[in-house]
Each structure stands twice: as C-alpha cells, then as structure tokens.
Structure 1
Amino acid sequence: MRPELLELILGLLPDTHPRSEVQLLYEMMRDYPQRGGKGLRSELLLLSAQAHGARPGSEAWQRALWLGAVVELFQNWVLIHDDIEDDSEERRGRPALHRLHGLPLALNAGDALHAYMWAAVARAGVPGAVEEVLTMIHRTAEGQHIDLAWVAQQQWDLSEADYLEMVRLKTAYYTVTIPLRLGALAAGKEPSAEFTPAGEALGTAFQIRDDVLNLLDDAGSYGKEIGGDLLEGKRTLIVLHWLASAPPEQRERFLAQMARSRSDKDPTEIAEVLRWLRESGSIAYAQRYADEQGQRGLARLSAALGEGNEAATQMLRLAEGYVTRQA
C-alpha cells in the first residue's frame, strides 16, 4: 500500500481514548491496516484514476485516494470477519485478530472498521460511489455465503463451475472490477463495460493462484499458513479436480478429515492429503487454468484502456504480476 494512502487511513481512524476499553478497540481497528499487505486493490484503483486523467495533487486524485481508502478498509474489515468465519490461525504473518483478543471483540472491531469505510466514502464525495460500494458488498457477501454454506452443509458434490461462480462473486468483483470502476469515477469518467469481464477473469486467476500457493512448500512470503485451506475445508479448483478422479480409499480418507472441525483434524492425515494433491497433477491443472484466465483478463483490460497510456501500462504490469506471483 502506498504510504500516503496508509497515512490517510490511519488519520481517519481514531487513535486515543481515555477509557482503556475503547482504547483497545481503536488499537484493534488499526491493527490489520498497520500490518501492511500488498495493496493490490487500492493500487489498481489509483492507476485506473490516472489512466482516466486524474493527476497526483489534483482534486480528482484526492477523491481517488479516499476511494482507495474505501477498498482497503473494506478489505480489512472483511478479513477480520473472514478469519473468524474460517477459524484462521494467522493473518499477514501474525495471529489473526480473534486469536489475539477473542471472537466478540474482533467481530466488534470489524464492524467498527465497516462504519469508518462509509466515512471514507463520504469524504470522497464521488457521484455513483455509494452504489458501487453497495454492489461490492452484496456480491462479496453472496460469494462468501456460498463458500461458508458448502462447509456448513458438508457439501463436496460440486463442479468446477460451482467453484468459479463462487470466486467471481467472492473475490473477483472487489479485487479487480470495483477498483477499476471506482478509479474511473474518481476521475469523472464512465467506467468501461469491459471492466466487469476483465475483472472476473483476472480475479479468478488471482484466487486460483492464491489457492495454489497455499499448497506449495516454497511459497516464500505468502503470509498465510501452508495447507490452511485444507484445515479450513476450503473448496478449491485443485481439490475438486482431484476428487473427480481420486482413488476411492483416498477420497474416503479425505472426506473423513473434512467432516471434522479444524482442531479435530489429524495432522498426519492432512499431510498425506497434501502429498496426494501435490502428486496428482491437480495443482498444475489449476495453475494452467489461472494462466488462461489471466491472459484473457489482461487482453480485455488492455482493449478497454487503449494504448499509449503509461498508467494503463503500469496497471497491466501490476495485474500480470499478481496472477503469476510467487508469494
């Protein structure tokens, strides 16, 4: 994340209070933003604003910065809730917020960040931004509900198309489509209709690459626990592809583990499942699909932005780097 954007976010969030309980809330609200993160969404938004004519230092640029704060605050309060819902251990290399402070306090801190996200929307003052942010929340919640419902209902009889629809809702819209659209609006321009299919393809590639990294030994600075998706019972393109042709004995052992809670899963069995997945060819299959989606999304985004625009070139380079990233 750009330093000027983090400064804007931390300046919006309260930092001191005479009551120790409220002071703890403020510290919890600032925790995830201060842990850093890649800042992909806000960077795409700012580059989109530049590609549409907003210049650093201008009023349009300030509007874009506030909308960048919106997508970062959205990301952070959603991550707090997501970590609770998935019972995750870590976030950005440190214990998840609910692991540090308990579920009720973490949930409340996420709700508070949500409110400050809307304060940033108001500060931006961009026509059409409220509707865009509402749509982003609706689509993300729908995708998250599908994902959580599969876990709650122990549903594994799923197709790859089911997974891809969930990802388009849960990840692609707020990761790529919304930043592109908000950047255009900040510059006073109408967002291209191509941003939606480009965002769906690029966001799908981004999520599949994240799923792949979660299962690799050498994920570098990935920032999340390797194999965490298995412990959380995540339905991924990798697992669904493997299940379609897995030997019956392996499938039975896998489903037996997935029926257990995270804390009750057998580490030895999970390690064995991880080995099966790595040896099956399903990880390579998923990566090929991600590569195809990435190239398709980049082509559509390039067509929408046109040639000869430096900000657009940087945006394409950024998007390509994230769908082929090693961490």
Structure 2
Amino acid sequence: MRNLIADFIDHLLPRTHARPEIQHLYDLMRDYPQRGGKMLRSQLLLMVSEAFGGSVSQALPLAAALELFQNWVLIHDDIEDDSEDRRGIPALHRLHGVPLALNAGDALHIYMWQVVHQAGVQGAFEEFLDTIHRTAEGQHVDLSWVTHNTWDLKEADYLQMVHLKTAHYTVVAPFRLGMLAAGLQPDPEIEAAGLKLGAAFQIRDDVLNLIGDPADYGKEIAGDLLEGKRTLVLLHWLGLATPEQKNTFLQVMTLPREQKKTEDIQQILGWLQESGSIQYAQTIADEEARAGLALIRKVLSRAPQQQVAEQILTLLEQLATRTS
C-alpha cells in the first residue's frame, strides 16, 4: 500500500521544468514525500475502504490526497515550531529557508485539492474541508499557548487541543474517507472512537519525544521542550514540581529555542523522568486506547470483509501501544 501511494504521488507531482527556479520548486515539493514516513493515515484509509467493500483503485486518490495533506502540514508545522529535523533529515526550512519551504508547502496544498477534485468521491471534498478546519484550529490553540507563554492549563485543555489538531485527521478522517470511497455514508460512531484513539497516539508520541530512540523516532529527542510544547506529561508534572523546579522551568520556557541551554533541558528531562509524570501520561494513553479500540471494534464489526477489519484492529492496537 505504501508503494501504491508513493507511486501515485510520484506520478502526480511535476518533475522537470526548463526554468531553474521552478525546477527547484518541484524538487522541494518532492522532498518530504520522498523521505518516506510510515504513511499510516493514508494506508488506514485504503484498508477501511477495502474492509467495507471498496476497491483500492477507488480509494487510492483519496489516500494520496491525505498523504499530501500530511506533507504540506508538516512543512508548515516545522516552520511554525522552528523544528530541526523531519524524518531524520534537517527540516525543509532549515535546508532552504522559510520563504521557499513555505511556498513548497502551499504548492503541495494545491495538488492535494486537485486530487480530491479529480477523485470524484461524493462527500470527500466536505470531509477534507472539515479536517483542515479542525487541524488549523487545533494548531492555532497550540501555537497560541507558546506565543503567549500560557501554562495555566488543565488536562482537558490539552485533550481538546489534541482532538482538534491530531486525532481528527489521524483516525476520524481516514475512517470516514475510507467509507466514502467505498460508496457508503460514514458510521456515526467513528468520531468518538477516533478522538480517543488519536489522543492515545499523540500522548504516546509526546512520551517518545522525551524517552524515545532517536534512530527510530525520526525527530529530535526533547524537541517538544525546546519548542515549548504543552504536553500531558508537562502539565501533570507542573502540579507536582517544587516551587524552585517550577520557577526554573518557566524561566527556561520563556527563552527562544536557540537560547535554551542543553544542561537546562537535560535537568528538566531528569525531573520529568523522576516524577512519575511520564508513567501517568502512559496510563492515560492506555485508558484512551482501550476505550477507543472498544468503540472502533463496534464499527468494524459491521464491515463485510472481516479479515481486513482484523488487520485494521491489529494496526490500531500497535499504534496505541507503540514504543518507537
């Protein structure tokens, strides 16, 4: 499935142009897609369509469009967070500067809509619109907390942000688009299941950002601390920290990324690892995953192709309990 999606995108995106500046744009547009990645969301879309009686050929354009969505959003996200790496390689804006990287992301965005239009699947355009609206809203909430140095947040604030920014396009959209590609109306129980599973996946990712293996993780370890990301781990720890720890932490978090000292980040990492907050976040991820899997089993129990449905469940269980 990954090869099918990659080949579709490879044939879709322009490859050569006589003018060198536009040739450079084409090269930048191909950069993130050629870096690979797990393509989990787009593969999930194909599997859901197949489970509900659709064909790969029907669903492939939407899967490719969802993968293009992932790539242009990552380019923009890396710029907004001033990230160092993406998929083990320096982020696009680090290699070519913000203006060129931003424009390449915009160009991929256009090709995404081209594919959605050409797919001709009823309801897909509206589903992509809804997904992008929610993702942008969640991203704005996340960025606003960093911009305004907001730390007086509750667990519920974090979960609402994650539901908007990550959970919808990670699970809800692939399921709904997969059913639409199969010619069906999406099951109304998908959203509740997908939000819980998406939250579990994001919490796992937050934990891996602190304790993961850099070779497997594909992004810099402790990048969330350098970028000042609000995570469940940090919000829980702030409720346990001593006044001295909290004061030091908040002072470090007011600094721009390039001014944060390695020794300060390592000290905060040590506090987090000693506090039990990482284990707490993993427990919440387990609870969200169990609830989400129970709900999605009900949805998949109605799929005519039960062998594929079981494969989807296995994939979701692996994601919900991932350690790399």
Is 1:153 the counterpart of 2:145 in the alignment?
A: no
Among 49, 58, 64, the alignment partner of 2:59 is 64
* Matching of residue 40 in structure 1 with residue 40 in structure 2: yes
- The question of 1:142 aligning with 2:100 is answered no
Is contact 1:163-1:235 (8 Å) kept? Answer: yes
| Mapping of residues 206-217 of structure 1, within 5 Å | 206-216=201-211
- The equivalent position to 1:102 in structure 2, one of 94, 97, 104, is 97
Letter in 2 for 1:318: L
Change (3 A) 1:303 1:165: same
Per mean C-alpha deviation after superposition, the further-off stretch among 215-224 and 102-111 is 215-224
**Superposed displacement of residue 134, structure 1:** 0.1
Displaced runs of 4+ in structure 1, greater than 4 A? none
Deviation at 1:218, TM superposition (A): 3.8
The share of aligned pairs that are identical, in percent, is: 61
Equivalent residue number for residue 290 of structure 1: 285
1:316 partner amino acid: L
SS in 1 for 2:211: coil
Root mean square deviation, CA, Å:
1.0
Q: CA contact under 8 A between 2:5 and 2:64: conserved in structure 1?
A: yes
**1:53 alignment partner, SS class:** coil
AA of the residue aligned to 1:14: P
Amino acid at match of 1:158: L
Secondary structure at the aligned position of 1:214 is classed as helix
**Unaligned regions of 5+ residues in structure 2, if any?**
none
Q: Using the TM superposition, give the Cα deviation of residue 324 of structure 1 relative to its aligned residue in structure 2, in angstroms.
A: 1.1
Determine the structure 2 residue equivalent to 1:318: 315
Distance apart, 1:152 and its partner CA: 0.4
Q: Which amino acid aligns with 2:22?
A: V
Distance in 1 (CA, whole Å) between partners of 2:124 and 2:267 is: 47
Q: Which residue of 2 aligns with 1:58?
A: none
Alpha-carbon distance in structure 2 between the residues aligned to 1:219 and 1:286: 20
Q: Specify the SS of the correspondent of 1:301.
A: helix
Residue 224 (structure 1) aligns with: 219
Distance 1:217 1:101 in 2: 28
What does residue 6 of structure 1 align with?
Answer: 6
Moved more, 217-226 or 161-170: 217-226
Return the match for 1:184 from 175, 179, 187.
179
Alignment equivalent of 2:158, drawn from 154, 158, 163: 163
Partners of 2:70 and 2:280 in 1: CA distance: 29
- Do the aligned residues in 2 keep the contact of 1:83 with 1:96 (CA within 8 Å)? yes
Hey, what's the Cα distance between the residues in 1 that align with 2:197 and 2:185? 21
| TM-score, normalization by structure 1 | 0.97
Aligned residue-pair number = 322
How far the C-alpha of 1:123 sits from its partner, in A, is 2.1
- Alignment check: 8 A CA contact 1:219 1:326 kept: no
TM-score, scaled to structure 2: 0.98
Q: Which amino acid aligns with 1:35?
A: R
Contact 1:257–1:265, Cα closer than 8 Å, also in 2: yes
Aligned-partner Cα distance in 1 for 2:282–2:182 = 35
> Could you list the runs of 5+ residues in structure 1 that have no partner in the other structure?
56-60
- Please state how far the C-alpha of 1:69 moved relative to its aligned partner: 0.5
> Quick check: 2:214–2:220 contact (8 Å CA) kept in 1?
no
Deviation at 1:147, TM superposition (A): 0.1
Post-superposition CA distance 1:142-173 (Å, at most 9, x none)? 00000000000000000010000000000000
1 CA distance for matches of 2:238 and 2:292? 28
Q: State the alpha-carbon separation in 2 of the partners of residues 30 and 51 from structure 1.
A: 31
